[in-house]
Amino acid sequence: MPPTTMSWETVDQGLTPANWDWRNVNGTNYLSWSLNQHIPQYCGSCWAHGTTSALADRFNIMLRDLNPTPVGLSPQAIVNCEAGGSCNGGDPSGVYYYAYHTGIPDSTCMVYEAKNLDAY
């Protein structure tokens, strides 16, 4: 049975900040960087970029300032493994499933090339 009180109804609004920006929390940026899915060529992989970026951001927030470099996950690995789609489009839910069951390598392990694996 669902709860009768929603989580946001239990938070004292007076205790929350007027605004919040993960790009600047006391001078620290916890967010991963943005890549252009169409460089060096057209690739419809926004689904892979957005999802790997969202996951990386959560790792960066969790690790706080303890990690010497920000976490950046490889959207190219996701495209190559067809973990939700290809350069022809895809579904972010496949990325979350793949990440949970297999993991996603760091972007330094597989640089973004904006092409499907069968295009090599």
> Which CATH code is given to the segment(s) 37-119?
3.90.70.10
Query: What ranges do the domains of the chain cover?
Result: 37-119
pLDDT of residue 98 exceeding 90, the answer is yes
What pLDDT does 46 receive? 95
Give the span between the Cα atoms of 55 and 72, in whole angstroms.
9
pLDDT of amino acid 33:
84
Q: Which residues have a Cβ under 8 Å from the Cβ of 62 and sit 6 or more positions away?
A: none
Percent of the chain with pLDDT over 90: 56
pLDDT tens per residue, range 18-75:
889 999 998 888 898 888 889 899 999 999 999 999 999 999 999 987 777 888 999 9
Is residue 113 within 8 Å of 40, Cβ to Cβ? yes
What does the pLDDT read at residue 88?
95
